[in-house]
């Protein structure tokens, strides 16, 4: 069974540009959550999608957005990139929402904003 796949693995963008990251969850999983990881802040929750609907959102500005498709694949978009957006972006998939359901993480997308 394939794991969580995130593409691309590495990305370099210029300030002011926008970027789209992709996450393909484990087959059969309907919940996808996104996290930002930086050395100073650790892992922070961005948003959660389940059945194509955003169910939960973290404390990030509106420049960060996402969506989920009918096949459960998810994308997140960051517009008007800032230097501080440089981070490892991780997505996690699970079969159900919350509870004791295990979350499986992808390898992440390393975004560098210059």
Footprint on this chain of another protein (rule: CB under 8 A): 4, 31, 33, 35, 42-45, 48, 50, 55-56, 58, 90, 92, 94, 97-108, 110
Tokens representing 69 are 């498709």
Q: How far apart are CA 61 and CA 40, in angstroms?
A: 18
CB of 108 to another protein, least distance (A): 5
**Minimum Å distance from CB 32 to another protein?**
8
Using CA atoms, how far apart are residues 112 and 32, in angstroms rounded to an integer?
23
Which of residues 13 and 97 has its CB atom nearest to another protein in the complex?
A: 97
Question: Cα separation of 51 and 74, whole Å?
Answer: 11
Judged by beta carbon, residue 10 or residue 14, the one nearer another protein is 10
Measured from the Cβ of residue 87, the count of other Cβ atoms closer than 10 Å reads 22
Residue nearer to another protein on the CB measure, 62 or 99 = 99
Alpha-carbon distance of 65 to 88, in angstroms, equals 16
Shortest distance, position 86 Cβ to another protein, whole Å: 15
């Amino acid at each position: 069974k394939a794991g969580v796949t995130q593409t691309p693995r590495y990305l370099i963008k210029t300030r002011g540009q926008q970027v789209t990251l992709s996450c393909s969850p484990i087959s059969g999983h309907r919940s996808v959550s996104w996290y930002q990881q930086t050395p100073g802040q650790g892992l922070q929750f961005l948003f959660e999608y389940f059945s194509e609907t955003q169910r939960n959102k973290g404390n990030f500005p509106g420049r960060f957005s996402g969506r989920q498709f009918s096949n459960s694949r998810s994308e997140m978009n960051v517009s008007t990139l800032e230097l501080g957006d440089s981070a490892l972006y991780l997505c996690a998939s699970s079969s159900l929402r919350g509870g004791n359901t295990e979350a499986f993480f992808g390898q992440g997308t390393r975004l560098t904003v210059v």
